[in-house]
Chains A and B, each alone.
Chain A
Amino acid sequence: MNPRALAAWSLSGITVALASGNPVYRALVVLCSINVLVALRRPNVSLRGLAIALVIAGLIAVTVTTLASHTGDHAFLVLPAAIPVVGGALTVEAALFGASSGLGIAAAVLAAAPLSLVLLPNSLVDALPRALARTGAAIGTALNLIPGIARSATEIRDAQRMRGWRPRRVREWPDLAVPVVLTALEGSITLAEAMEARGYGSGARTHYSDMVWRGADIAVCAVAPAAAVAFVGLRIVGVIADWYPFPDLSVPPINTFGVACCLALATPALVWRR
């Protein structure tokens, strides 16, 4: 499969998932994305961690919205008003709105997940436009500092403990912080030298193999963005309606064309094979 086609599909899925607050469309995007992940994920790639993270995110969305929003006609619990923020009526409408928000988060994350769970990292880097290659590398390097510092801090803390270091007061923490900072600086210099040794910044990058566009890739790259554009267009003109459960519960409005746009996102699962 072509990485750029998959990136176009991911962008389309995210667009559809976030263009409307209607849980029906979001649920369809979730189903399409799960199908793509299950069908095309790399061997030995587990979806368990992603699933757990999404369930937690969904539960947080439902909990926060239910506790913070006291709008709605159907109250199932009334907390004392003296409690800050959460005090008041907890409503079914707010819980459902939170569930819809959680579904939107799940749909967007699942649409983006194939970029890391289906493609090999180097394939995606190769697929970046030439103008974004340096920017992507710089941002990736900057983000890599965070887990790098965390690993370094753990190692140095263990090493200090083996030497008998037992921090009891805040003033003893520099014993850990100073080596961590120095190690991070040293790692940055090492990384810069390594990148320079590999020719970073010396000119245009060459590729061992060119990206091939097959019929299935073209189909995915044509159908998914077209579906996203159509969905957003129908949303703008009002054919596809948003959904709010406030102030009273209502069934989400479902439009045939909106459903068709969502189902078109299942194209990769049908035309691509791993």
Chain B
Amino acid sequence: MIRPLIRVMLAMPVLATGIGAASSIARVGPAAPACARAASVHHAGLLVEHGDGQVIRRCVGFGTPTVTALALLQASGLEVGTSSYGGVLGTAVCQIDNEPAAYPPGCFTASGSYWVLFVSRAGGAWVNSDLGASSVTLAAGDDIGFRYDSQTGADPPPPPPAGTCPVATPPPARTQTPAVRAASAPRATSQTQATPPSPAATPPPTATPTGGVLGLATPAASAASVGSSPRPGAPPGISPGLLLAAVGAGGLIGLLSVRTLRRPRA
């Protein structure tokens, strides 16, 4: 009588572990953060720091799996003026919330300030974007930051994105981040055809924040997607972690094989 009782008691940890682990199955997809605009399926944070230090935070919802930074900015309700970089660089953001009050057709002046685009993947640190706002792809849980900063000197990032969109569960991990500064692009603009600085002339975003069925809408991510593009200038090769994992797994499989072969058959 006692022996089965003990066996059942020993099975408790296994049972508890199985139930706990099985509950993770319920997490069948990326959870939507609890944002102010909870009606949308996904949310990403937008942080705008004006030249006078005023900070605007918006949590913007979108229905497609991914959305461009430009579409997110336009969906935030803030006034936006843009100009095209041309090519894969995409669209430059020339004006946000009426700052600057006016700008040339080429967006950038020879000196002065401009909007620097930062991207935070899954709550991580701000990283300068090397692409224009229309080419930066965001997923749920990501944040974008615009800081109106001088063209000279360093580009300090805006305040941390934490709190812009409260995230209930960890968002998708994004491994690659752009390393090169975004709009070091006055050079680029001088070679591209500028469009008039009117919102009507703004190129339409490739993904619009409309309601849709998850997984069915074509994302805006292209070959230049931030989430999947390799880090520019990164040396090719195998990461030490991958090497160690491969060696360790090989060793464990080898040890397992040896023990299996040496174990006497019953």
Is B213 part of the binding interface, using a Cβ–Cβ cutoff of 8 Å?
yes
- Are A263 and B248 in contact (CB-based, < 8 A)? yes
- Are A97 and B29 in contact (CB-based, < 8 A)? yes
- Are B216 and A88 in contact (CB-based, < 8 A)? yes
- Are B227 and A250 in contact (CB-based, < 8 A)? yes
Interface residues of B in 210-266 (CB under 8 A from A): 213-216, 219, 221, 225, 227-228, 239-242, 244-245, 248-249, 252-253, 255-256, 259-260, 263, 266
- Provide the bound-state CA to CA distance between A247 and B32, in Å: 13
Contacting residue for B29 out of A71, A73, A241, CB 8 A? A71
Chain A residues closer than 8 Å to B256, beta-carbon distance: 31, 34-35, 38
Binary flags per residue of B99-115, CB closer than 8 Å to A gives 1, else 0: 00000000000000000
- Are A144 and B4 in contact (CB-based, < 8 A)? yes
Which listed segment binds B: A118-126, A154-162, A164-172, A217-225?
A: A118-126
Is B80 part of the binding interface, using a Cβ–Cβ cutoff of 8 Å?
no
Interface residues of B in 176-210 (CB under 8 A from A): none
Report the minimal beta-carbon distance from A148 to chain B, rounded to whole angstroms. Answer: 8
- Are B219 and A247 in contact (CB-based, < 8 A)? yes
Contacting residue for B21 out of A64, A108, A137, CB 8 A? A108
Q: A39-B259, A144-B8, A269-B255 are in contact. Are A255 and B66 (CB under 8 A)?
A: no
Report the minimal beta-carbon distance from B143 to chain A, rounded to whole angstroms. Answer: 15
Is B36 part of the binding interface, using a Cβ–Cβ cutoff of 8 Å?
no
Is A112 part of the binding interface, using a Cβ–Cβ cutoff of 8 Å?
yes
- Are B10 and A116 in contact (CB-based, < 8 A)? yes
Report the minimal beta-carbon distance from A40 to chain B, rounded to whole angstroms. Answer: 10
Is B172 part of the binding interface, using a Cβ–Cβ cutoff of 8 Å?
yes
- Are A124 and B244 in contact (CB-based, < 8 A)? no
Chain B residues closer than 8 Å to A27, beta-carbon distance: 249
B interface SS class: helix
Is A101 part of the binding interface, using a Cβ–Cβ cutoff of 8 Å?
yes
- Are B215 and A71 in contact (CB-based, < 8 A)? yes
- Provide the bound-state CA to CA distance between A128 and B2, in Å: 16
Interface residues of A in 36-94 (CB under 8 A from B): 38-39, 43-44, 57, 60-61, 64-65, 68-73, 75, 78, 81, 88-89, 91, 94
Is A259 part of the binding interface, using a Cβ–Cβ cutoff of 8 Å?
yes
- Are A254 and B242 in contact (CB-based, < 8 A)? yes
- Provide the bound-state CA to CA distance between A141 and B1, in Å: 10
- Are A73 and B65 in contact (CB-based, < 8 A)? yes
- Are B216 and A260 in contact (CB-based, < 8 A)? no
Nearest opposing residue in chain B for A60, CB measure: B25
Is B28 part of the binding interface, using a Cβ–Cβ cutoff of 8 Å?
yes
Interface residues of B in 99-140 (CB under 8 A from A): 124, 139
Report the minimal beta-carbon distance from A61 to chain B, rounded to whole angstroms. Answer: 5
- Are B28 and A72 in contact (CB-based, < 8 A)? no
- Are B30 and A246 in contact (CB-based, < 8 A)? yes
- Provide the bound-state CA to CA distance between A141 and B3, in Å: 11
- Are A109 and B21 in contact (CB-based, < 8 A)? yes
Chain B residues closer than 8 Å to A71, beta-carbon distance: 29-30, 65, 214-215
- Are B6 and A140 in contact (CB-based, < 8 A)? yes
Is B53 part of the binding interface, using a Cβ–Cβ cutoff of 8 Å?
no
- Are A94 and B9 in contact (CB-based, < 8 A)? no
- Are A143 and B30 in contact (CB-based, < 8 A)? no
Is A272 part of the binding interface, using a Cβ–Cβ cutoff of 8 Å?
no
Q: A69-B28, A250-B175, A259-B245 are in contact. Are A139 and B12 (CB under 8 A)?
A: yes
- Provide the bound-state CA to CA distance between A159 and B187, in Å: 92
Report the minimal beta-carbon distance from B132 to chain A, rounded to whole angstroms. Answer: 20
- Provide the bound-state CA to CA distance between A122 and B219, in Å: 58
Chain B residues closer than 8 Å to A136, beta-carbon distance: 9
Report the minimal beta-carbon distance from A87 to chain B, rounded to whole angstroms. Answer: 9
- Are A116 and B14 in contact (CB-based, < 8 A)? yes
Chain A residues closer than 8 Å to B24, beta-carbon distance: 18, 21, 101, 104-105
Nearest opposing residue in chain B for A105, CB measure: B21
Q: A238-B124, A247-B172, A260-B244 are in contact. Are A31 and B252 (CB under 8 A)?
A: yes
Q: Given contacts A18-B20, A61-B22, A108-B18, could you give 9 more A-B pairs where the C-beta distance is less than 8 Å?
A: A44-B266, A101-B24, A112-B14, A125-B9, A140-B9, A190-B1, A247-B30, A250-B175, A262-B248
Leading 6 A-B pairs by shortest Cβ distance: A140-B9, A244-B172, A247-B65, A254-B241, A69-B28, A121-B6
20 contacts between A and B (CB under 8 A): A21-B24, A31-B252, A34-B256, A35-B259, A70-B29, A70-B215, A73-B219, A105-B18, A108-B20, A109-B14, A111-B17, A115-B14, A121-B7, A143-B8, A242-B170, A244-B171, A244-B172, A254-B245, A256-B239, A256-B241
Residues on B close to A: CB < 8 A?
1-14, 17-18, 20-22, 24-25, 27-30, 65-66, 124, 139, 170-175, 213-216, 219, 221, 225, 227-228, 239-242, 244-245, 248-249, 252-253, 255-256, 259-260, 263, 266
